[in-house]
Amino acid sequence: MQVNPRRPCCRKAAGFTLIELLVVIAIIAILAAILFPVFARARENARKASCQSNLKQLAIGVSMYLQDYDQCFPVWFREEYPNSPAHPTVAVSPYLKNTQILVCPSQTPNGMDGTYKDFPIAGPVNMGYGFSYYIFGSNTARTPTADAQVDKPAETVMIGDSQHCWGGGDAIPYANTCCDTTPPTSPTASRHSGGENLAFVDGHVKWMASAALKANWNYLRNPGVN
C-alpha cells in the first residue's frame, strides 16, 4: 500500500515585498503631508484664541483702572517720576490676575530683566503686546486721555500684537509700544495667520488681517481721540 507524504496543515505567510513596503511608506508620507499642516493650523488657532483671551483680560484691566481714576487712561510719563518713563502695563498690573497674560503664545521668546521702581519685572520677559501712543500718551504728553475724548471707541485700537521693544533708564516694561509709526511701516506684528489680534477701547477684541490694517490706517491712529 502506498502512503501519501504528510502535508503541512498550514502555509507559512510570506513577508512584504520591497514594492509593498515602498507603497506603504509613500502612503504614510502623503498622509503626513496632508495632516501636518492641519495640525499646525489647529495649534495656531489655539494660540490665536489664547492671545485674544490675553487681550480681553488686558482690556478689562484698563476698564477697571478707568473706574478708579476718573475715567482717564494711564500715561507713559508720571509727574512723580519725571526722568523715568512709565508704562501702562505698570499702572494696569494690579488689575491683572497674573503677568503671563502679557505673553503672546505665538511670540518668539525675547526679553530682559529689570525693575520699575517697586514693581519687579522677572525676566526674561516676552514682550508681546503694545499699548497705543495715541491713547496712553507719548514721550512729551503727561496729561491723561479721558475716556470721553474717544469719540469712536469701537474703531480705536488700544492694545495689540506688537513687534517693537521699548525701554529706557531703569524702566524696562513688560510690553512693547504700539501704533507709533506711520504707514507702510507698521509696529504691529502679524503673528496669527497673516494678521494681528487687537483690543479696542470699547473692550472688544478681534483679529484683523495685516492688509486690512494697512488699507485703513485709522484703526491704528485711533481716529476718535480729540
- Per residue in 171-187, pLDDT tens? 333 344 454 444 444 55
> What's the pLDDT band for 34 if we cut at 50, 70, 90?
confident
- At 189 the pLDDT is 64
Asked whether the predicted pLDDT for residue 205 surpasses 90, the reply is yes
Range list of β-strands (E), 64-144: 114-116, 119-121, 129-132
62 touches 158 (CB < 8 A):
yes
What is the distance between the alpha carbons of residues 186 and 178, in angstroms, rounded to a whole number? Answer: 9
Question: If we measure between CA atoms, which residue out of 107, 102, 105 comes closest to residue 58?
Answer: 102
- Per residue in 135-144, pLDDT tens? 776 555 457 7
76 touches 103 (CB < 8 A):
no
Domain locations in the chain as residue ranges? 19-221
What residues does 220 pair with on adjacent strands?
none
- Whole-angstrom CA distances from 62 to 46, 72, 99 are 25, 10, 14
